Amino acid sequence: MKLDERQRAYWRRNLTLTLTLLSVWFSVTFIGGYYAAELNTLIFLGFPLGFYLFAQGSLLLYLVIIVIYVFAMNRLDRQFRIDTRR
């Protein structure tokens, strides 16, 4: 099955969005975790910052990533007239 230009453009934008959000996820999860010991020297709301970021902040960011993905994909589907309702 050969893809036409419109389908390629849709797939390219979908891949770009996915890779961008995955890089944000990776940065928060692994790079933030790597520096957790240094972050724990700072206190935020009575807790070490590293602990607070991973106990609360990262979970909120993961939720934001999901919301961004849903809205961006719905907009992309409308833009390329991809109708998922049958």
Question: Quick one: pLDDT at residue 17?
Answer: 98
Section 31-36 average pLDDT? 85
More reliable by pLDDT, 29 or 14: 14
Domain assignments of the chain as residue spans, ordered by start: 5-79
pLDDT tens by residue, 37-56: 898 999 988 889 888 888 88
At 41, the amino acid letter reads: T
CB 9 within 8 A of CB 81: no
CA dihedral 68, 71, 74, 78 (to 10 degrees): -120
Tell me the pLDDT band of 20, cut-offs 50, 70 and 90.
Answer: very high
- Non-local (6+) Cβ contacts of 44 within 8 A are 52
Question: Quick one: pLDDT at residue 1?
Answer: 61
How many Cα atoms are found within 13 Å in the side-chain-facing hemisphere of 74? 7
User: In angstroms, how far apart are the furthest CA atoms of the chain?
Assistant: 59
Tell me the pLDDT band of 86, cut-offs 50, 70 and 90.
Answer: low
